[in-house]
Amino acid sequence: MISTVGAAIAADPPRKAPAAVPAPLTVATWTGCYLTGGVGYGMWNQDNQTFNAIGLPADAEHIDGGRGWLGRVGGGCDYQFAQKWVIGALADCDFARIKGDMSLPDFGWQGLGEKNNWSWAAGARVGYLPWDQLLVFISGGYTESNFKQVNLSNLVGNLVGFHIGETSYTGWWLGSGYEYRFDWLPSLYWKTEYRFADLGSQDNAIINTATGVPTGEFVHSRKFIQTVTSSLVWRFGGWR
Would you state the pLDDT for residue 25? 44
- pTM, two decimal places: 0.85
Would you state the pLDDT for residue 3? 52
Q: What angle do CA 42, 48, 50 make, to 5 degrees?
A: 150
**Rounded average pLDDT over 192-217:** 96
116-133 pLDDT per residue, tens: 999 999 999 999 999 999
Lowest mean pLDDT among 8-17, 186-195, 207-216, 219-228: 8-17
HEC profile of the chain: CHHHHHHHHHHCCCCCCCCCCCCCCCCECCCEEEEEEEEEEEEEEEEEEEECCCCCECCCCEEEEEEEEEEEEEEEEEEEECCCEEEEEEEEEEEEEEEEEEEECCCCEEEEEEEEEEEEEEEEEEEEEEECCEEEEEEEEEEEEEECCEEEEECCCCEEEEEECCEEEEEEEEEEEEEEECCCCCCEEEEEEEEEEEEEEEEEEEEECCCCCEEEEEEEEEEEEEEEEEEEEEEECCEC
Q: Where are the domains of the chain?
A: 29-236
8-17 pLDDT per residue, tens: 545 555 565 5
**Rounded average pLDDT over 206-231:** 96
Question: Does 22 score more than 60 pLDDT?
Answer: no
**Rounded average pLDDT over 82-111:** 93
31-90 pLDDT per residue, tens: 999 999 999 999 999 999 999 888 888 888 889 999 999 999 999 999 999 999 999 999
CATH architecture designation of domain 29-236: Beta Barrel (2.40)
